[in-house]
Amino acid sequence: MTTVDTGMAQALNAALRDALGADERVVVFGEDVGRLGGVFRVTEGLRAAFGDGRCFDTPVSEAGIAGLAVGMAMAGWRPVVEMQFDAFAYPAFEQITSHMAKMRNRTRGALALPLVVRIPYGGGIGGVEHHSDSSEAYYAHTAGLKVVTPATAADAYSLLREAIDDPDPVIFLEPKRRYWTKEPLQLPVRTGSFGTAAVRRAGADVTLVAYGPSVAVALETADLAAAEGLDVEVLDLRTLVPLDDDALTASVRRTGRCLVVHEAQGFAGVGAEIAARVQERCFDALRAPVLRVTGFDIPYPPPLLEDTHLPGVRRVLDGLYRLLPASARRAPRTLPAACAPAPGRTFLLPDLGEGLAEAEVLEWKVAVGDPVEHDQVVAEVETAKSAVTLPSPFAGTVTALHCEAGQVVEVGAPLLTVEESAEASGSGAVLTGYGTSGRSGRQPSALPATTTGAADAVHESNDPARVTASATRIPLGPSADKFVRGHRDTPAVTIWADADAGSLLAARTTLGTGLMPLLARACLDALAAFPELNSRVDADRRELVRLPQVHLGFAAQTDHGLVVPVVRDADRLPLDGLAAELRRLTDLARRGALPAEHLTGGTFTLNNYGGFDVDGATPILNHPQAAMIGVGRITDRPWVTDGRVEVRKVVNVSLTFDHRVCDGGTAAAFLRHVVDGLGCAV
Q: Starting from the edge strand earliest in sequence, which strands make up the sheet with 116-121, in order?
A: 55-57, 26-30, 78-82, 116-121, 170-175, 146-148, 239-241
Q: Starting from the edge strand earliest in sequence, which strands make up the sheet with 627-641, in order?
A: 492-500, 644-658, 627-641, 604-608, 552-554, 566-567
What is the Cβ-side half-sphere exposure of residue 534, based on CA atoms within 13 angstroms? 24
Report the alpha-carbon distance of residue 617 to residue 506 in Å, rounded: 25
Report the alpha-carbon distance of residue 455 to residue 68 in Å, rounded: 43
Report the alpha-carbon distance of residue 342 to residue 223 in Å, rounded: 12
Report the alpha-carbon distance of residue 629 to residue 671 in Å, rounded: 9
Instruction: Go through the chain and tell me how many residues it has.
Output: 682
Q: Are strands 552-554 and 556-558 parallel, antiparallel or unpaired?
A: unpaired
The answer to whether 163 touches 116, Cβ cutoff 8 Å, is: yes
Helix (H, G, I), strand (E, B) or coil at 295: strand
> How many CB atoms are located within 10 Å of the residue 569 CB?
12
Report the alpha-carbon distance of residue 254 to residue 285 in Å, rounded: 8
Catalytic positions, written as ranges: 131
Residue 660 has φ and ψ, to the nearest 5°, of -75, -25
In degrees to the nearest 10, what's the CA dihedral of 354, 358, 361, 367?
A: 110
